[in-house]
Amino acid sequence: MDKKDLEELENWKKQKMNYVETYGVDIFNEKKKKKSTKVLEKLFNFLYKIAKAILIILIFVIIIVTITGLVLYYQYIDSKLHVDPVETVSNMYNKHVEIIEKNVDEDRNGDYILTTKENPDIRFNAHVEWRSLAEDYADRCHKYYYEKWENENKGMLKTIEEIGENNILKYEQYIEIENHEQLENAVNLIYDLRVFAGENFSPDWNIYIIAENQRMYLFNSANYSREETLKRMQEMYNRVLNGEIVEPEPNLVLDFLKGM
């Protein structure tokens, strides 16, 4: 550094000191500070926008979760207080149930006319009173297929039919027998009705044989073959003849479901 450079440096220092003494601020350093401040401001604004966007998203998620939770809680409480006839009957019979008509109050208590996609010709009734459900799907099916069944011996089946409260049908059939031959004929006839109904048959149909004033229900399962059914009923009939009480409680599972 020559003499001239030293002089210029010295003059610069004096000029700087004069500015500091005059304005009380080192404007040379302030310029540097302003540049760094602008960088910090830009960074702050960028981070602020990101934080704001995250906060908005978080609030939105909280609102959605809260609303979903309230809806699910309401549905849970409603399911505990009120039976859904469509869902309940669908689960009971494994059918796709639809509402045709309904006459209900604001709490959905009242009368329903229902059908199934599997057989829309069968209309049945349901009455809902909060957690209580009365319905006649099995009885309506039983009657429907019996009336469509063309069998010259179908008159052997005696029918008890009653329309109860809320138009709920009670339908049952039986054959009274006195010996093994009549038992075999009765089993074959009832099994023929089951074959005619096919997959629409249900063991919940109230159909039975009477022997010695006792009811003997043929089916508590839809999987018995004709031979298995006859063998089972012969064994049951022998027990009846020996004085045993064999009358079962029909439709226990259905009654339990209806009372849920």
Q: Return the DSSP state at 151.
A: -
Helix axes 180-197, 137-148, angle to 10 degrees: 100
With residue 104 as reference, give the H or E element that holds it.
Answer: strand 97-104
For the chain, give the percent of residues with pLDDT over 70. 74
- DSSP 3-state of 241: helix
Structure tokens at 217: 């229900």
Q: For 47-104, how does the pLDDT look when each residue is reduced to its tens digit (9 = 90+)?
A: 778 888 888 888 888 888 878 776 665 555 555 567 899 999 999 999 999 999 999 9
Domain residue ranges of the chain, discontinuous segments joined by +: 3-78, 135-258
List pLDDT tens digits, range 176-227: 999 999 999 999 999 999 999 998 898 889 999 999 999 999 887 667 899 9
Give pLDDT tens digits for 37-46: 666 677 777 7
Total count of residues recorded for the chain: 260
